[in-house]
Amino acid sequence: KDTDLVSAAGGRRVVKELKAVTGGTKVVSWFSIHQSHASGNVLVKDEKMPNDQIFDGFSYDEGSGKLDNNKAILDDQPLMDLSKVNWDTFPRLLRVGYKEMGVRNADPTQTYVIFDWENGKQAMRFYINGDYKTSAMLTASFDGTILRRVNAR
């Protein structure tokens, strides 16, 4: 089973498969990576619609990615490029989330990342969950700079 995707190596595996399946690394906001799967809308090439930006759903599970064959036209939505993520910052960002944000016994299996925009910047939102329903959110730019922290308490 392919697990621990919320890591530097895991993120790279997802992006490598995304590129293999779609030919690119651009995604629509709210693309998410969980411990054992990843999913979201991604930019795809479509020969029938060469002048439009087309997206399709993409999912990564058990080490392989696939498209949902549910294509649609992307209207004026800025794309995010996952090849621009500095995956080497993940260990430090996760350490901050697990140790410094008040989450009780943070559970890595319940941690996930959503790629979204933060004040016009491509960003990653780490959601960290633990015991007693404690949770925190750490937002960082693609270069690993912490932009916002919402502590558990």
- Summarised one tens digit per residue, pLDDT across range 72-90 is 988 888 899 999 999 999 9
DSSP letter at 87?
Answer: G
pTM of the model: 0.92
Query: How many CA atoms lie within 13 Å of 125's alpha carbon, on the beta-carbon side?
Result: 18
Mean pLDDT of 139-148: 97
Give the number of other CB atoms < 10 A from CB of residue 59: 15
**Which residue(s) pair with 19 in the sheet?**
none
DSSP letter at 97?
Answer: H
Residue 1 pLDDT greater than 80, yes or no: no
Average pLDDT over all residues of the chain: 94
- Residues 138, 38: Cα–Cα separation, whole Å: 19
Whose CA is closest to 17, among 56, 64, 57, 79? 64
- Residues 123, 116: Cα–Cα separation, whole Å: 5
Mean pLDDT of 83-107: 96
Q: Which amino acid is at 134?
A: T
The pLDDT of residue 24 is 94
Rg (CA), the chain: 16
Beta carbons of 43 and 20 less than 8 angstroms apart: no
- Summarised one tens digit per residue, pLDDT across range 30-87 is 999 999 999 999 999 888 888 888 999 999 998 999 999 889 988 888 899 999 999 9
The pLDDT of residue 97 is 95
- Summarised one tens digit per residue, pLDDT across range 126-138 is 999 999 999 999 9
Give the number of other CB atoms < 10 A from CB of residue 82: 26
Q: What is the domain partition of the chain in residue ranges? A: 8-82, 85-150
